[in-house]
């Protein structure tokens, strides 16, 4: 089963992002971009890929332990950009500002704990972001550059992060479907 670990945003922020996408995606209509559906918006902490059923219990145990050691926190959802760069855009994202580096700490903890059970560590440093689109075919680079420039300073507000979610990703022709395997509340009783 294909899986990943993520944090979800507050409903009002998801709604605001969805309204923004509904209004603005036509501005880059000459490029083939697969836009993320509202119900699939999240911040990925770690992509695990294909795992065996037997590994579920270990992952759940690790995430449960981690969730008990971290308090909920806020992040700011703002700015638009692309990965890897503006001359070769593959992913369109909305930025996540996390002044206290809580998401980085969470991602590092997940990496460290799961590595003890044989899960491969990421090569690159964690960069908190909200993927909103994947460029499937680039026909007009200037259109994407203009879009990013126009909305680079947009702000969606703050979102409380109060849980870690372990998802299964089911690939379908119409796009991925994400199913919650388990959700772990962060510990506000510390």
Q: Could you count the other beta carbons within 10 Å of the beta carbon of residue 97?
A: 14
Q: What is the CA radius of gyration of the chain?
A: 17
- List 8, 13, 31, 42, catalytic entry: 42
* Three-class DSSP labels, 6-63: EECCCHHHHHHHHHHHHHHHHHHCCCEEEECCHHHCCEEEEEEEECCHHHHHHHHHHH
Q: Name the β-bridge partners of 77.
A: 96, 157
Catalytic residue status for 115: no
Active site residue 129: yes
Query: Which tokens sit at 112?
Result: 């460290």
Question: Annotated catalytic residue: which of 3, 70, 114, 129?
Answer: 129
Q: Give the largest Cα separation in the chain, rounded.
A: 52
| Catalytic residue list | 42, 129
């Amino acid at each position: 089963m294909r899986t990943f670990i993520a944090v979800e945003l507050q409903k009002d922020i998801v709604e605001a992002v969805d309204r923004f996408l509904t209004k603005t995606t036509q501005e880059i209509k000459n490029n083939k971009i697969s836009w993320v559906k509202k119900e699939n918006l999240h911040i990925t902490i770690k992509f695990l890929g294909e795992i065996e059923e037997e590994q579920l219990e270990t992952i759940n145990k690790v995430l449960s332990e981690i969730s008990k050691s971290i308090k909920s926190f806020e992040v700011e959802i703002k700015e638009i950009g692309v990965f890897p760069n503006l001359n070769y855009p593959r992913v369109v994202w909305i930025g996540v500002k996390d002044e206290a580096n809580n998401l980085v700490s969470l991602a590092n903890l997940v990496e460290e704990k799961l590595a003890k059970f044989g899960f491969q560590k990421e090569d690159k440093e964690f960069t908190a972001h909200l993927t909103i689109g994947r460029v499937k075919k680039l026909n007009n680079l200037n259109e994407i550059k203009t879009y990013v420039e126009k909305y680079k300073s947009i702000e969606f507000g703050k979102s409380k992060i109060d849980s870690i979610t372990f998802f299964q990703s089911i690939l379908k022709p119409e796009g991925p479907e994400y199913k919650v395997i388990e959700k772990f509340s962060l510990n506000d009783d510390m």
